[in-house]
């Protein structure tokens, strides 16, 4: 058996036996999500939780001052930032901002793959958010929220992480990067769904992570997965299905015309969204 097939077999076996090591959410994200689920939590208490992590605090202030929230008056403290963002959005936004911590490795080869994966993911996030904002501006329908959209797009390909972690133990595999792409294509969505369930995320997130590549899976109502597919197509992650994705977007009412994705307004929204995750 070739090394490539052996690793693929190992991965499938671990998935089937439920022994594949899945990533865990960064500790600060867990703390914020736990606090957000407390019905008695208030803005001051939430500010205290976030304030214990300097990096997250700085990024939260940045997002509070960003074009994402459309505000011009600057805030300078985490208390002001939490008040501006609001408790409802804090849970998803803080998780999204902490996600970058998962895309790191001490192995140079794995680190490079993870860096590329993070950059590609941020592009998907930016286009997904811009697509949803365009939809909201056109329809005034706010059933789908931008903070949930942000996090859903960030975790859409989370199943890649355990594959790279497992491959790190078999460095000879990296002699053939093509294999990694094959393994990711075959297994990442299945693993992604497992991660979302392990993290106890809602069904919307499970569907995104598990089904975003499968265009035959169509929710009854417009869903976050529709916008993630558009984001992935515009980011160059679905080149073989790009036309199908965009045509489907028109059929399902995400957009009225593909030209919407070429307007200066759409491009500006995508740039603003991307800047949220810039260092």
> What is the predicted pLDDT for the residue at 105?
84
Query: How many Å separate Cα 228 from the centre of its chain?
Result: 9
> What is the predicted pLDDT for the residue at 104?
86
CATH number of the domain enclosing 120: 1.10.3210.10
The count of structural domains within the chain is 1
pLDDT in tens, 55-90: 899 888 988 888 666 666 788 899 888 888 888 889
List CB contacts of 84: < 8 A, sequence separation 6 or more. 64, 69, 71, 75
List CB contacts of 237: < 8 A, sequence separation 6 or more. 120, 124, 157
Question: Does residue 90 lie in a domain region?
Answer: no
Question: Does residue 234 lie in a domain region?
Answer: yes
Task: Give mean pLDDT, residues 220-232.
Answer: 97
Six-digit token pair at 156? 């859409």
- What integer best gives the mean pLDDT of the chain? 89
Question: Does residue 114 lie in a domain region?
Answer: yes
The half-sphere exposure of 194 on its side-chain side, counting CA atoms within 13 A, is 21
Alpha-helical runs (H) found in 19-140: 27-36, 43-51, 54-64, 78-85, 87-98, 108-139
The half-sphere exposure of 97 on its side-chain side, counting CA atoms within 13 A, is 26
Question: Does residue 30 lie in a domain region?
Answer: no
Question: Does residue 133 lie in a domain region?
Answer: yes
Host domain of residue 170: 3-24+101-275
Six-digit token pair at 227? 């916008």
Question: Does residue 34 lie in a domain region?
Answer: no
Question: Does residue 180 lie in a domain region?
Answer: yes
Report the alpha-carbon distance of residue 166 to residue 36 in Å, rounded.
33
Give backbone dihedrals phi and psi of 24, rounded to 5 degrees, phi first: -110, 150
Torsion sign over Cα 221, 227, 232, 233:
positive
Q: Is 68 helix (H, G, I), strand (E, B) or coil?
A: coil
pLDDT in tens, 147-182: 999 999 999 999 999 888 887 777 666 556 777 777
Element of type H or E holding 266:
helix 264-275
pLDDT in tens, 134-155: 999 999 999 999 999 999 999 9
Calculate what percentage of the chain has a pLDDT beyond 90: 56
Query: How many Å separate Cα 231 from the centre of its chain?
Result: 11
Question: Does residue 66 lie in a domain region?
Answer: no
């Amino acid at each position: 058996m070739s090394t490539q097939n052996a690793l693929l077999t190992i991965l499938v076996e671990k998935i089937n036996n439920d022994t594949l090591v899945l990533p865990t959410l960064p500790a600060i994200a867990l703390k914020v999500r736990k606090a957000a689920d407390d019905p008695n939590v208030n803005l001051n208490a939430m500010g205290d939780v976030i304030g214990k992590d300097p990096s997250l605090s700085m990024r939260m202030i940045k997002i509070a001052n960003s074009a994402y929230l459309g505000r011009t008056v600057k805030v300078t403290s985490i208390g002001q930032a939490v008040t501006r963002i609001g408790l409802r959005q804090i849970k998803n936004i803080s998780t999204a901002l902490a996600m970058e911590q998962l895309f790191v490795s001490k192995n140079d080869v794995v680190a490079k793959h993870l860096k590329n994966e993070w950059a590609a993911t941020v592009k998907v996030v930016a286009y997904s958010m811009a697509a949803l904002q365009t939809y909201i501006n056109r329809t005034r329908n706010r059933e789908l929220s931008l903070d949930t959209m942000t996090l859903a797009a960030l975790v859409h390909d989370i199943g890649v992480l355990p594959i790279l972690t497992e491959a790190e133990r078999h460095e000879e595999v990296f002699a053939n990067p093509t294999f990694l792409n094959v393994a990711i294509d075959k297994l990442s969505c299945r693993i992604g769904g497992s991660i979302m369930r392990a993290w106890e995320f809602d069904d919307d997130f499970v569907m995104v992570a598990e089904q975003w590549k499968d265009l035959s899976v169509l929710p009854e109502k417009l869903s976050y997965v529709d916008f993630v597919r558009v984001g992935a197509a515009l980011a160059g992650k679905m080149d073989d299905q790009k036309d199908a994705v965009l045509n489907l977007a028109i059929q399902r009412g995400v957009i009225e015309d593909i030209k919407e994705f070429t307007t200066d307004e759409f491009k500006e929204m995508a740039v603003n969204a991307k800047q949220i995750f810039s260092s």
